[in-house]
Amino acid sequence: MTVCSLAVLKALLAHFEKVTKSAKGSLPKCIPTPTEALRSAIRCGKVATLDTLIGIWKEFDDIIYDGQEEVGAVLHYAARYGSVDSMKWLWAQPNIATDVNKVVGCYGTPLQAAIVGNIDVDVKVTCLLTWGADVSRKGGLTGTALNAATAQLKIRVAKAILERLNKGNVNIIAGQWGSPIEAVLSANEPNLSEGDVETWDMMDLLISKGVSAASQGGFWHTALHAAANAHALCTVKYLLKQKHVSKDERDLMGRLPLHLAAMRGHWEMVQELSSGNSTFLSEDHQGRNVLHMAAGLGRLSIVDKLLENVQIAYELINSTDNDGWTPLHWACHSASKEIVELLLRRGASKTARTINKSWLPFHVAVYHGQDFSDDLKVNAVPHNPDEAPPMLIYCSCCLCMIFGTLYKCMAKHVYCGDFNLCFKCYRHASTIHFRDHRFSSVE
């Protein structure tokens, strides 16, 4: 910014209140607010502009946004989006330096914001640690600085944080991913192959420093659930070798790792995750077993394998969940005609009715717009439901596409930023989600 433009900025700031009043509180878009000017100066790293802004205008917005993103205070914004020079200059201001451990906004602390920002991360992290950043502070979506570093696969940053954490604090549970290992798996799903060196190096580092692979918390509840959801067999096998990792832990919705493996269509993983207490008959909090889940998501290979066993097929083929839905009802939710035909050949009943709506499989097919509904007609069928439009959003519980009404959790909770339920799963919201969370319906 030139001397001339600095002078203009000073004049604008000096008369900002008058300009705002004359515009009746609504400024033209071409005139930036002081906070917008500050945000721009931070991004550009213009220390002279920052000096002018801070020197004249003392009261900026408490929370600085970037679009819809609630970034945090001034130091958080500099850590996330600014240059190293602008962050250093701001920290040197007495009223801003105290924010080094302030927990606010979607990132929690400035340290977490710097790690997620991917702009001169190592230098910024070193600065913040030198300034007294508390690596054990909890807050924001990532929960902790260690979770942020592991999710971003920043191994040097993770090492620096681990050096400052005592052994008890390496297993802090916080944020949407809960534990550091769950953060690695949840944030890097596409990379969980045996050849992904960065992911495995991070996992090995965490285990070597005493981070537990059996910690419980976060959206997926355990690292094993996260690995099963990510379709990562090699990771599942790795985790099962770690201390205290159990195949039998259930998440908030009552799902076992086995259930998620079936939902993702991985038969070898289903076998790997089976145990004496995690069987094909095991049910989640809605009373669904692996056949319900696989049929609902169109996993033909899983359904076929399950039905190869005569005893298992006999026990599961017409089993009902808590709403009276059979695997055939769930198959009619999916678009898999092959699964519907396979279930019918193995003895699935066309006449089983659901408890709440008294729907036959035929009605579920009509509601979800399936072109094979005529194959399911039976005599004396009551009135048909209207076909529901697809919402192009997936249910956070059954993982199926939502049709008709969508129910969105409105709680400001790290798990709930994008937590949506279909009409079927919403009936059990109080048993599969936090009881005090309210939902809003969207049609």
pLDDT in tens, the chain (443 residues): 444 455 545 555 555 555 554 445 554 555 567 788 888 889 888 888 788 777 766 667 788 998 889 999 999 999 999 999 999 999 998 888 999 999 999 999 999 999 999 899 999 999 999 999 999 999 999 999 999 999 999 999 999 999 999 877 899 999 999 999 999 999 988 777 666 788 999 999 999 999 999 999 999 999 999 999 998 999 999 999 999 999 999 999 999 999 999 999 999 999 999 999 999 999 999 999 999 999 999 999 999 999 999 999 999 999 999 999 999 999 999 989 999 999 999 999 999 999 989 999 999 999 999 988 777 887 756 667 889 999 999 999 999 999 999 999 999 888 898 999 999 999 999 999 999 999 999 98
First to last CA, the chain: 49
CA distance 193 to 151: 16
Query: The domain that contains 330 carries what CATH number?
Result: 1.25.40.20
How would you list the strands of the sheet with 406-409, edge to edge?
420-421, 406-409, 439-442
Last residue of a domain, one of 107, 132, 154: 107
Cα four-point dihedral sign 357, 358, 361, 363: negative
Please indicate, yes or no, if residue 420 is contained in any of the structural domains.
no
pLDDT at 380: 59
- Is residue 402 in a domain? no
Run of H or E including 439: strand 439-442
CB atoms within 10 A of CB 224: 30
Residue 153: inside a domain: no
| 143 occurs within a structural domain | no
Q: Is residue 388 part of a domain?
A: no
Whether residue 222 contacts residue 257, with contact meaning beta carbons closer than 8 Å, is answered with yes
Q: Is 104 helix (H, G, I), strand (E, B) or coil?
A: strand
- Residue 23 pLDDT: 47
Packing angle of the helix pair 47-56, 84-91 (nearest 10 deg): 30
Q: Is 135 within 8 Å of 146 (Cβ atoms)? A: yes
Burial class (CB in 10 A: 0-12, 13-18, 19+), 284: buried
List the one residue out of 212, 210, 209 whose CA is nearest residue 223: 212
Determine contact, residues 107/141, Cβ cutoff 8 Å: yes
Among 107, 129, 161, residue at a domain's last position: 107
When divided into structural domains, the chain yields a total of 2
Q: Is 89 exposed, middle or buried (0-12, 13-18, 19+ CB in 10 A)?
A: buried
Task: Please report whether residue 375 resides in a domain.
Answer: no
Long-range Cβ contacts of 377-383 (<8 Å, 24+ apart): 378/350, 378/351, 382/358
Amino acid making up residue 237: K
Q: Which residues contact 273 (CB under 8 A, 6 or more apart)?
A: 224, 228, 236, 247, 256, 257, 258, 261
- Is residue 123 one of the residues assigned to a domain? no
Q: How far apart are CA 213 and CA 224, in angstroms?
A: 8
Q: Are 334 and 300 in contact (CB under 8 A)?
A: no
* Domain limit, last residue, from 356, 391, 412: 356
CA distance 21 to 406: 43
Token pair 């050949």 in the structure block, residue: 345
- Which pLDDT score is estimated for 16? 54
Task: Quote the pLDDT of residue 62.
Answer: 83
Helices 110-117, 74-81: inter-axial angle, 10-degree rounding:
20
120 in a structural domain: no
Domain that holds residue 334: 247-356
Cα 88 from chain centre = 32
Give the whole-angstrom CA distance, residue 250 versus residue 267.
Answer: 20
- Within 10 Å of residue 269's Cβ, how many Cβ atoms? 23
- For 281-328, the DSSP string reads T---TT---HHHHHHHTT-HHHHHHHHHSHHHHHHHTT---TT---HH
- pLDDT at position 375: 79
Rounded Cα gap, residues 184 and 176, in angstroms? 12
The count of other CB atoms within 10 Å of the CB of residue 182 is 31
197, exposed or middle or buried, with CB in 10 Å at 0-12, 13-18, 19+? Answer: exposed
pTM for the whole thing? 0.89
